[in-house]
Amino acid sequence: MDQTTVKIMARITARADTVISLRQILRDLVGPSRGEAGCVGYELFQNQDDPVEFVTIEQWSDQAAADAHMSAPHVAAAISKAGELLALPPLIHRFAPVD
């Protein structure tokens, strides 16, 4: 993997009564995110043991692409829609390979 590649894991937690709505908002992000310049990979998962928890695993060609993703219109719209559906603020972690 190139040294500039950025891997991101975001954990998003729904309120118990909003899981279905939040799931749809997150699913709607997948296609547009994968189509962004610099997107190497974008996957969405739902915790099978605790369905209120969702995780995205993202890989971007560089930090500029990751930053552009966070300011993309479809991300801003999702953040706006999801705000009141969340039990906790999203946790976003950036990872680098260990040599």
pLDDT in tens, 19-59: 999 999 999 999 999 999 999 999 999 999 999 999 999 99
Confirm whether 53 is domain-assigned: yes
For residue 62, the domain's CATH number is 3.30.70.100
Confirm whether 1 is domain-assigned: no
* 97 φ/ψ angles, rounded to the nearest 5 degrees: -65, 150
Confirm whether 21 is domain-assigned: yes
- Number of domains comprising the chain: 1
Confirm whether 60 is domain-assigned: yes
Is-above-0.75 flag for pTM?
yes
Q: What is the 3-state secondary structure (H, E, C) of 2-35?
A: CCCCEEEEEEEEECHHHHHHHHHHHHHHHHHHHC
